[in-house]
Structure 1
Amino acid sequence: MKKVWITIVVLTAATTLFFLYRTVQTPDVTMADAGEQLAERYSGTVTKSAERNGQYVYTIEVAEGEYEMIVDSKTGELQEMTRMLEPAIEEQYVHREETAPVKESGPLTEVEAGEIALGEVPGTIDEIEMGDDEEAGSFIVDIDLANGGEATVQVNAISGEIMSISWDD
């Protein structure tokens, strides 16, 4: 009878340890989820994904070219973005006519994001900052309006697309 109880205790302990180990080893963000979020955020398509040194590495095609993006596998935060390929000249020309101008290389600078925002909402720039978790991959540009109000313009950090505008009186 003692052997049965010892076996039950050992199996219960082993099962508990296995599930605790799996819980600790499971990343907070899955590779698929992080890739989907990047593709949605930058209006692109993930063409390759891999895990390297505890980080997720993606190749994403967007209208402006191809980028390699490195994401922290624990938090899902974008760590690094590198431009790989530019689209063909014909694609750039068509894209420029249809939407905002295409930046020639890499992500936008704060100054460029400010210029794009002022092109949509005239006023004086109060502050420019990178977006937080919900607005990652974009610049948030606060603009003081002539009537005393304020507008907040969210500009995509790669494409320069205006993602949203909110108005405060």
Structure 2
Amino acid sequence: MNNKTGIWILLASLFIVVLLFISWQKFGNTNVSAEILTRGEAQKLVQDRYQGTVTQIKRTDEQYDIELEKEDNLYHISLDALSGKVLVFSKKGTKSQSPVPSTTTPRNNSSKKLTEEEVKEIAKKQVDGAVAHVWLETKGEQTYYLVQIKTKDDREAIVQIHAITGNVMSVTWDDHSSDDDHKKDDSKNRSKDKKMMTN
């Protein structure tokens, strides 16, 4: 009887502990997690965290969409209204230029650069030849690839391709043959001059 009583007491104790744990999980911290940040709290949290000025704030369900201005740059922030966690932080543009429209899927960043392989394919469609060299350059806020292509007739072209859109910005030809012809003409003229001087 003593063993059976001990087992029942142990089982009853475990059951009570499990019930208390489940009750605490379900009801214990409801007040903390269910509290949605007010607009003022969300604005203060973002401004304190990023040291900028909130220019616009809008709440949708349990998320705040916030526009922040900092040092002439404009940023879009999505903030969890319950936890205060930043879900998305992306640059929209600068104060001097019109903001870039925010994408519907901010995680798929629209400013993703093309790969070198993609750029080579685009360049080959413009100039028939073998790719000799590819490099990336940035001027101002514009990033582009330069692709050097050598053709079968020993000519060289440099194709300038926008690093994000893939648009061909320019094709520049480097004609060595015309330079060589000028050099040959100059050397012929010099030899004629020498002959005339000796005569």
Q: TM-score, normalised by structure 2?
A: 0.35
Q: Which structure is larger by alpha-carbon Rg, 1 or 2?
A: 2
Q: TM-score, normalised by structure 1?
A: 0.41
Greater share of helix: 2
Q: Which structure carries more relative contact order (alpha carbon 8 Å, separation 6+)?
A: 1
